[in-house]
Chains A and B, each alone.
Chain A
């Protein structure tokens, strides 16, 4: 499997990287860990005449943990899993990252690539919508931020322009309890269905909730209907059933080799029920 030929660049700083994107427009792609892009290039489903490798851009690495958590785009899943400060404040990141692909892929795969690629199968976009994260992007016009909940337009189509590079992902330290639950056919597979849930509680009442689903539409699905069904309830069986039915109204799965639509909707309900139960127990 030999990909089409390309010119390779390894810029030393962001401004060189964005000027390459300015120069080559949609003929250029940035590469982070490459574990989504390289397989697509090998299959010749992605045509990349100019490949801009971000590995030398140290400013895109690193995890800052405070009231706000900021994760540099080139931070790998392996680094997220092994960052104890991050795990103290947002254990959901470790929980979700451990469910991505397999160990070899997690050494290379980055948070930036995972959220920016726009693959509906990627796990972190749904989680970032659940946590109301914001993506920072930069171009020669300057910097801007895009909320995760407004980033995804269609499969592999996002609010990021061809001339922009996603530099970091930021979100508030999650309050209450979180869970990321994923059903997959085998290690390394994308989700048949996955759910990201955040719940805050006071006593036995749910005071805030956020729910997003992975791989059940051509973009991640942040379901306000599902979350609002839990608000001001004791997250009892009835409330969870209402949340599931709210979620089922928002997803739009397609039949593929992971199963027919009816099966995916069934699995989505089971997975969301488990994720709510786990997040509630941790809240």
Chain B
């Protein structure tokens, strides 16, 4: 066993100090040290995207990042996007358009979609399918996920335009 170290990460705007071995995977840090259980453990083999979080403006699979690599990083999880009283437009759209069924993949889906819309605020269906290709859903057949993301993009663009 290697020694435990202290790591500093900023999660959902809050500075956190973590004591852990360098080999700890970021998904465990988030879930078990910080009690952020939104990001899920799905396949744990870098395939399914259920553990997706945003790290330094990149969508990453938190099962494939060591806490040591994340030292100093800024991280956003689903908990940082919205809450039950004030849903993020993506959460609202997923609810409205039946973009989920069992819900297991949804935090990863929404966190990834949020980053996708930051980079491409007006995506085509094809852009969405390509940009969401790292997230697997075994319930919906994806059609309603694409619809939800498109609807959220529309809402967010309208809000932005209204503000300008």
Q: Is the CB of B64 within 8 A of A39?
A: yes
Q: Is the CB of B64 within 8 A of A38?
A: yes
Known A-B contacts A1-B45, A31-B69; A108 and B60 likewise in contact (beta carbons under 8 Å): yes
Q: Is the CB of A34 within 8 A of B44?
A: no
**Within 8 Å of chain B (Cβ to Cβ): is A107?**
yes
Encode contact with B along A88-119: 1 for CB under 8 Å, 0 otherwise: 00000000000001111101100000000000
Q: How far is the CB of A252 from chain B (nearest CB, A)?
A: 28
* Interface hits, B50-64 → A, CB 8 Å: 52, 58-61, 63-64
Q: Is the CB of B44 within 8 A of A1?
A: yes
Q: Is the CB of A104 within 8 A of B49?
A: yes
**Within 8 Å of chain A (Cβ to Cβ): is B133?**
yes
Q: Is the CB of A105 within 8 A of B23?
A: no
What residues on A are CB-neighbors of B44 within 8 Å? 1, 42
Q: Is the CB of A188 within 8 A of B47?
A: yes
Output the nearest chain B residue to A49 by Cβ-Cβ distance.
B2
CA distance A282 to B63 in the complex (A): 41
**Out of B2, B25, B49, B66, which one reaches A7, CB within 8 Å?**
B2
Output the nearest chain B residue to A82 by Cβ-Cβ distance.
B119
Q: Is the CB of B2 within 8 A of A5?
A: yes
Q: Is the CB of A107 within 8 A of B58?
A: yes
Q: Is the CB of A102 within 8 A of B66?
A: no
**Within 8 Å of chain B (Cβ to Cβ): is A53?**
yes
Q: Is the CB of B60 within 8 A of A4?
A: no
Q: Is the CB of A103 within 8 A of B59?
A: yes
Q: Is the CB of B59 within 8 A of A2?
A: no
Known A-B contacts A5-B21, A8-B68, A55-B69; A107 and B60 likewise in contact (beta carbons under 8 Å): yes
Encode contact with B along A222-248: 1 for CB under 8 Å, 0 otherwise: 000000000000000000000000000
Q: How far is the CB of A150 from chain B (nearest CB, A)?
A: 31
**Within 8 Å of chain B (Cβ to Cβ): is A3?**
yes
Q: How far is the CB of B49 from chain A (nearest CB, A)?
A: 6
What residues on B are CB-neighbors of A103 within 8 Å? 59, 112, 116, 130-134
**Within 8 Å of chain A (Cβ to Cβ): is B22?**
yes
**Within 8 Å of chain A (Cβ to Cβ): is B46?**
yes
CA distance A194 to B52 in the complex (A): 29
What residues on A are CB-neighbors of B64 within 8 Å? 34-35, 38-39, 108
Q: Is the CB of A102 within 8 A of B133?
A: yes
What residues on A are CB-neighbors of B133 within 8 Å? 102-103, 187-188
**Within 8 Å of chain A (Cβ to Cβ): is B65?**
yes
Output the nearest chain B residue to A76 by Cβ-Cβ distance.
B58
**Within 8 Å of chain A (Cβ to Cβ): is B86?**
no
CA distance A39 to B44 in the complex (A): 9
Identify which of B1, B59, B116 gathers the most chain A CB atoms within 10 Å of its CB: B59
CA distance A200 to B52 in the complex (A): 43
Q: How far is the CB of B111 from chain A (nearest CB, A)?
A: 10
**Within 8 Å of chain B (Cβ to Cβ): is A78?**
yes
Q: How far is the CB of B141 from chain A (nearest CB, A)?
A: 15
Q: Is the CB of A34 within 8 A of B66?
A: yes
CA distance A108 to B59 in the complex (A): 9
Q: How far is the CB of A7 from chain B (nearest CB, A)?
A: 6
Q: How far is the CB of A47 from chain B (nearest CB, A)?
A: 12
What residues on A are CB-neighbors of B21 within 8 Å? 5
Output the nearest chain A residue to B54 by Cβ-Cβ distance.
A107
**Out of B45, B65, B130, which one reaches A34, CB within 8 Å?**
B65
A-B contact pairs, 27 of them (CB 8 A): A1-B63, A4-B23, A5-B1, A5-B2, A5-B21, A8-B2, A8-B5, A8-B22, A34-B69, A35-B46, A38-B64, A39-B46, A41-B23, A42-B45, A51-B66, A53-B68, A101-B134, A102-B133, A102-B134, A103-B59, A103-B132, A104-B112, A104-B134, A105-B46, A107-B60, A108-B60, A108-B64
